[in-house]
Structures are given as structure tokens and as C-alpha cells.
């Protein structure tokens, strides 16, 4: 059968639009469910919770890396792209996961770490064995290191005594940057996609894609959006498209801005179908030290900052081009960062959900957000597992003496990535049902009333049921909440207003992310679709603390 190029474009476009309908659930596999009681989550654990996920209403699971690894950077240091880390199970488990997920109409999204490999990867071992080995060219080398810095702190160059040379690593020294100049790298990554595609995977998160081309211009080093990035990535993707039309690429380019999404999500420079919307992830981070610090002066208006407004209000930015998230494995828990963990725990968690789901774009929910999971309490340096958090102690406490040990611990309790990597809270039993009691690999959540899935399933107005409702509403009003246009504004009293509309329908969200009452226009006679307060009192023209509503405007 001959399919002409226009038909192919139609098929590919339909596939993208189909992905735009989805709600993605992000799983950090080590912490979701431990099926064999070894203290670590695993694939069998995830499989055992697929009914729960189906019931929640999600359409796809983004699995953080599950490949063989030393876990130096939580699996983003891959030892073998085609093997499942034995702690997580086997390839048979993975096949079973895909099969069981498909039965429930749930897609699996693999996290493709294409910028770097582990320093224990076979290729790197060969690369340092001899400069004559072809693998040597898979990586980036110098005799004279410059002062380029790693994103995780310290020099980006690491010395290899046997070669008397340095290799480049943008992240941890255990993550060696691949040389994308070499066609081999590209082919190797195409082969990785082939492998998972053949096992039924259609969605791919392309990790750290803005970094594949590093360059120095007029003495200035740059590691993001290099001049050959598009060329490299298009070579890679075009090879994939030769045989596969139904793949979906979500690009992870941290800190990307709306105009850059417009450039790279369509047209001649397209490198991904969709990008994560990083508009809010920095809110409350230290001005100089990012997530390794804390800025108590963050403002509610930051949730309607220029980038966020642009994503929503610019009609050129289509819903399928961006993926919104409140928390990820690279942030702390949203409720602890921006909500009220105590008095208004449920209302503020629901308000953050309502805010996210009012936005144009695909929605991603990090495991645990649907039950308002909070940051745990880390007492000292030894409680942390994340390489970035530990490096921060070394650099900002030990070396630069910018923070005291206690300060760093305090900041990490607010913003560290480890907060989002803690065991899921399933019930009130030992280790909250994560396993049968074996010590967990990372700190657990504290106990608080109604915090578990089991309790929240029973409580009609729980955060969990709020998420279920909001996901259902998104589907019921898909022409507005998924495909509709968006208009977002910050009202004078800090209430955020998001209007979504299609030709014949309009849905308005008024979001109060503060612990204060807010006066609004009376919305009597409106059909309320969602309300973060479960009683029917009030709501005439006052929003109570963290009260947010979504209503149908006739």
C-alpha cells in the first residue's frame, strides 16, 4: 500500500492531538510500591497498583528511569539502556506492566537519558581503556580543562589518570556527556527507542535535550540550545520516524521559555512534540542557589508570572505543545512549598490542583500529589540521598561556607528533590503500606490524619476524590478544558482567574492560593463544577482561605 506524505502528516498530527487529551501520572519507581519487601519500590509493585491508577482516571504513566544503574543520580546514570535494574525487576516484569497497563488504556512513557551515560557503562569503560577504541569518541575530552562548571556544582571536567585527559560531565561526575557529533551516539539512541517501542512503549520523555550540543563561542562556554542541537536531534528523530509514526516526544529542557517552546515544538526547528512548562518550578527557590536555597519572599503573583501568562494567553502555543506540573522528581512537594501543610492542608492541595487543571496543556501529576503528600522531615545531611543535595552541603557548607549545616538542612527540607522521592502512603499500616516493614531506602512521610490512599478513598471530600473529579471534568468538558482557548489574569486582589472557552462554552476558574478571604464578583446562578470547600456555605462574593472554584459560565 502506498501512503502519501500528506496522509502520514495527518496520522502524525492525530497522534499528537490524541496525546494532548491525556493526564500523565509520574512514578518514581523506587518509592511507589515495594512488592518484595526489600525497601525499594519495583515494577511488580506498580503493576499491583494499576487498578488504583485506572480508577484515578489517568491515561499514561511516566516512569522515571528503570534501567540498570548505580543510582548516582536516581537512575539518570544509565549502565545499560536495555536492561531493567534488578532492584526493580526484570524485562519480563516490564512486558507484563505494559500489557496490564494497555488493558486499562494506560500508556507507558519511558525516560530516555540521551545526554549522558553512567561512568560504569560498557562504552565508557572501553573509552578509558584506550584512545584507540572506537568508544573513546562517544564522549567529550580535553587535555586542558577550562573553568566550565557542572550543573550540580564543581568543575565539569574529571581527570582520567590512565589517559592523562579529562572527560566532560554537565551533571554528576558519574554521568559522562555523550558526544552527539558522532553518528554512533545517534544510532545507539535510535536503537534504544526501537527496543522499548517494540515492547509497546509509544511515549518518550527526552531528558535534558537542550544540552546535547556544548560549544564555546568567543571564549564563552554554553551548554544549552547549542547551534547544532537541532541538527543532532532531528537526525535522531528522523531515523525513528522512518519506521514509526505513532511516537510522542516530550522534551525536557529545564527552564525553557514560551518563545523557545514555539521555536522548537513546531516548524523547521522542531525537536519535540511537547515541552514541560517550567513556568512555576522555581517559585520559592533561592535567588543564587536555586533549589539548594530558599526565598521566603516569593509571591502569589508569581503563579501568574509573565512566562505562565504567555503560555496560556498566546494562541500560537497549542495545548499539545506543553505539559504542566506542580511537582516532579526534580522539585519538592507542591503542598509543602506553596500550600498550607497544616490548617488548610486539604483546601490548599485542592487549590493547587484546580490551578493546574485550569491551565491549557497536558497535565502531569507526580505520584502522591493526589493525596496531598507533604515533604517529610530530614534531620541531617545523612538523611539525604540526592546527589545534588549532598553536593550542595559540600559546596555551600564545607567549601564556600555560604550556609551553615543547619541552614542547608532547613533549605533542603523545603526545596530538595528528595522530598518528592519518598515512599507513597497507601494505608496506615507499617511503612504506610509501601511494603511489609523493611526499612525504606529513603525517609518516609510523617503520619497525619487522612493522609493515606485508603483513608482518602473512604472520605467523600478527600483530596484524592477531588483529583478524580477534576480528571473526570477535564474529559467531560474536553472541548473547553482540553481543546479550548485560555485567558489567564491576576486580579488586583491576587485571585488568579483562568477562563477557558470554545465556540459555545466558557469555564471560569477563580483561584485563591492565599490564606486570606478574597472578595470577588458574585457568582450566584453559576453552575459550580468544582469547589475546594465541600460545604455549600458562603460563596456569594467571598472566597475563603484557599477557596478556589471552577464554574460554567452560561
- 42, 111, 207, 237: the catalytic one is 207
Contact 89, 44 (CB under 8 A): yes
Neighbours of 343 (CB within 10 A): 11
To the query of whether residue 504 is one of the catalytic residues in this protein, the response is no
Nearest distance from residue 364's CB to ligand GLC, in Å?
12
- The total of other beta-carbon atoms located within 10 Å of residue 528's CB is 12
Give me the least distance between CB of 170 and ligand GLC, in Å please. 8
Distances (CA, A) of 157 to 139, 177, 209: 12, 10, 20
DSSP annotation string for 126-152: HHHH-TTSGGGGGB-EESS--S-B-TT
**Residue of this chain nearest to ligand GLC (CB atom):** 76
For binding to ligand GLC (CB under 6 A), which residues are involved?
73, 76, 113, 171, 207-208, 252, 254, 329-330
Tell the smallest beta-carbon distance from residue 386 to ligand GLC (Å): 9
Query: Which residue's CB is nearer to ligand GLC, number 167 or number 171?
Result: 171
- The total number of residues shown for the chain amounts to 554
CB 168 within 8 A of CB 177: yes
Using alpha carbons, select from 289, 300, 367, 366 the residue that is nearest to residue 339. Answer: 300
**The pairing of beta strand 107-113 with beta strand 60-63:** parallel
Q: In whole angstroms, how close is the CB of 271 to ligand GLC at the nearest point?
A: 16
DSSP-derived 3-state class of residue 507: strand
**Cβ 77 to ligand GLC, closest distance in Å?**
8
In the DSSP assignment, the letter for residue 376 is -
Nearer residue to ligand GLC within complex by CB, 412 or 518: 412
Question: Residue 254 or residue 427: which is nearer to ligand GLC going by CB?
Answer: 254
Q: Which is nearer to ligand GLC, 318 or 421 (CB)?
A: 421
Assess whether 207 carries a catalytic annotation.
yes
236, 190 in Cβ contact below 8 A? yes
Closest to ligand GLC by CB, 30 or 350: 30
Q: How far is the CB of 239 from ligand GLC (least distance, A)?
A: 22
Nearer to ligand GLC, 340 or 386 (CB): 386
Catalytic residue among 42, 252, 340, 388: 252
3-state SS, one letter per residue, for 413-465? HHHCHHHHHCCCCCCCCHHHHCCCCCCCCCCCCCCCCCCCHHHHHHCCCCHHH
Residue 397 DSSP symbol? I
For 153-222, the DSSP string reads SSBSEEEETTTTEEEE-SS-TTEEEB-TTSHHHHHHHHHHHHHHHHTT--EEEEETGGGS--EEETTEEE
In the complex, what is the shortest distance from the CB of residue 388 to ligand GLC, in angstroms, rounded to a whole number? 7
Name the residue nearer to ligand GLC (CB basis): 211 or 500.
Answer: 211
Helix axes 229-241, 183-198, angle to 10 degrees: 40
DSSP E strand boundaries for 60-106? 60-63, 67-69, 78-84
The residues annotated as belonging to the active site are: 207, 252
Amino acid at each position: 500500500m502506498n501512503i502519501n506524505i500528506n496522509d502520514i502528516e495527518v496520522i502524525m498530527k492525530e497522534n499528537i492531538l490524541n496525546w494532548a487529551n491525556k493526564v500523565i501520572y509520574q512514578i518514581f519507581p523506587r518509592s511507589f510500591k515495594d512488592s518484595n519487601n526489600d525497601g525499594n519500590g519495583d515494577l511488580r509493585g506498580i503493576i499491583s497498583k494499576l487498578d488504583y491508577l485506572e480508577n484515578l482516571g489517568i491515561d499514561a504513566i511516566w516512569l522515571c528511569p528503570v534501567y540498570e544503574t548505580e543510582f548516582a543520580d536516581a537512575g539518570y546514570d544509565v549502565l545499560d539502556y536495555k536492561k531493567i535494574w534488578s532492584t526493580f525487576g526484570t524485562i519480563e516484569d516490564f512486558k507484563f506492566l505494559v500489557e496490564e497497563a494497555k488493558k486499562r488504556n494506560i500508556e507507558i512513557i519511558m525516560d530516555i537519558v540521551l545526554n549522558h551515560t553512567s561512568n560504569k557503562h560498557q562504552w565508557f569503560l572501553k573509552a578509558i581503556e584506550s584512545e584507540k577504541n572506537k568508544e573513546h569518541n562517544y564522549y567529550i575530552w580535553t587535555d586542558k580543562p577550562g573553568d566550565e562548571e557542572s550543573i550540580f556544582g564543581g568543575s565539569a571536567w574529571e581527570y582520567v589518570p590512565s589517559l592523562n585527559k579529562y572527560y566532560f560531565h554537565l551533571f554528576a561526575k558519574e554521568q559522562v556527556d555523550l558526544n552527539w557529533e558522532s553518528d554512533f551516539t545517534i544510532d545507539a539512541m535510535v536503537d534504544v527507542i526501537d527496543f522499548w517501542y517494540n515492547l509497546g512503549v509509544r511515549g518518550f520523555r527526552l531528558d535534558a535535550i537542550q544540552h546535547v550540543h556544548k560549544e564555546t563561542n568567543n571564549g564563552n562556554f554554553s551548554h544549552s540550545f547549542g547551534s547544532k542541537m537541532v541538527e543532532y536531534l532531528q537526525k535522531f528523530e528522523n531515523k525513528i520516524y522512518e519506521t514509526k509514526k505513532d511516537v510522542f516526544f516530550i522534551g525536557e529542557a529545564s527552564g525553557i521559555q514560551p518563545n523557545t517552546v514555539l521555536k522548537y515544538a513546531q516548524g523547521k526547528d522542531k525537536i519535540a512534540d511537547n515541552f514541560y512548562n517550567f513556568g512555576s518550578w522555581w517559585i520559592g527557590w533561592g535567588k543564587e542557589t536555586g533549589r539548594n536555597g530558599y526565598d521566603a519572599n516569593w509571591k502569589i503573583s508569581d503563579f501568574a508570572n509573565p512566562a505562565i501568562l504567555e503560555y496560556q494567553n498566546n494562541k500560537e502555543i497549542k495545548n499539545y505543545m506543553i505539559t504542566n506540573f506542580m511537582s516532579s522528581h526534580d522539585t519538592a512537594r507542591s503542598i509543602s512549598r506553596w500550600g498550607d501543610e497544616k490548617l488548610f492542608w486539604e483546601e490548599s492541595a485542592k487549590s493547587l490542583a484546580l490551578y493546574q487543571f485550569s491551565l491549557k496543556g497536558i497535565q502531569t501529576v507526580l505520584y502522591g500529589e493526589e493525596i496531598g503528600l507533604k515533604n517529610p522531615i530530614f534531620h541531617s545531611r545523612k538523611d539525604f540521598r540526592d546527589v545534588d543535595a549532598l553536593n550542595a552541603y559540600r559546596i555551600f557548607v564545607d567549601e564556600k561556607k555560604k550556609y551553615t549545616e543547619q541552614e542547608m538542612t532547613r533549605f533542603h527540607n523545603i526545596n530538595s528533590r528528595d522530598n518528592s522521592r519518598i515512599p507513597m502512603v497507601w494505608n496506615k499500616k507499617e511503612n504506610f503500606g509501601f511494603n511489609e516493614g523493611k526499612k525504606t531506602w529513603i525517609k518516609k512521610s510523617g503520619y497525619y490524619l487522612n493522609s493515606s490512599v485508603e483513608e482518602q478513598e473512604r472520605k467523600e471530600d478527600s483530596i484524592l476524590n477531588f483529583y478524580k473529579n477534576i480528571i473526570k471534568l477535564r474529559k467531560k468538558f474536553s472541548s473547553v478544558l482540553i481543546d479550548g482557548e485560555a485567558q489567564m489574569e491576576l486580579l488586583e486582589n491576587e485571585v488568579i482567574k483562568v477562563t477557558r472557552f470554545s465556540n459555545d462554552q466558557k469555564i471560569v476558574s477563580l483561584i485563591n492560593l492565599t490564606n486570606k478571604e478574597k472578595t470577588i464578583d458574585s457568582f450566584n446562578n453559576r453552575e459550580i463544577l468544582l469547589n475546594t470547600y465541600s460545604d455549600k456555605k458562603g460563596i456569594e462574593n467571598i472566597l475563603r482561605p484557599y477557596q478556589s472554584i471552577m464554574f460554567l459560565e452560561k
